[in-house]
Structure 1
Amino acid sequence: MTASLLTVARHAHPSGADVVKVGGELDQHTSPHLTEVLDGVHLTPGTTLVVDLSGLMYCDSTGLTVLIGLYQRSEAAGAPLVLAGLEKELLRIFRVTGLDELFTLRATVEEALAL
């Protein structure tokens, strides 16, 4: 088996928002890594979490489930969640599944932070 094909980097933005950048392939094999990082994000009321998916090349149903779980957590905490940078194919999946109605989607992290 090869090394993980998923990269996850978390940083605090000067605005106070947390930004998690995800790249590579998000599937049943790599989703535990993303889940671990997201579980480490302390969600607080009014503090925005932006998940930058601009580097994500592939996402299966397991990956979508991780994002839905994050959405549920952020809603319960009163912390706005924004997904940014969805490439054309991933955006199509979100539209087909109706997830574009659930999540706040923005083209870039900058647009997400301007909310």
Structure 2
Amino acid sequence: MSAAYARHQAALEAGADPAVVTQWINEAQRDKEAAQTKLDALPAVPRKPEPHLTVVQAITERLEGITQRIQAVDADKKGPPLRSPGHHDQLRKRNKDPDHKAEVPRDGVRGGT
């Protein structure tokens, strides 16, 4: 029910003449039909897909495929999480450089100016 019809109902409940309220309702209906006719007469405007939305959709679809493949792999075939305790050791083994030590000074700044 539209706000106009709610007002008409309230007017009837307040004692308004039903003939007058019926006239208001008929006028509102005609206005609505006229507006719809104007709207229907407007030319259809095709919407072009927005490029950035297409790109986002493509990325999302690719990520969904990756997620499904990751979930499909047995847990015993997956490597340990990279942020698990000792992950630096795991990375060194992967890189086949057992002497590599990536140390960061306590102040968090590596050499440079």
User: Same fold judged by TM-score > 0.5?
Assistant: no
Q: Which has more strand, going by share of residues?
A: 1
Question: TM-score, normalized by length of structure 1?
Answer: 0.20
Q: Decide which structure has the larger Cα Rg and report it.
A: 2
Q: Which has more helix, going by share of residues?
A: 2
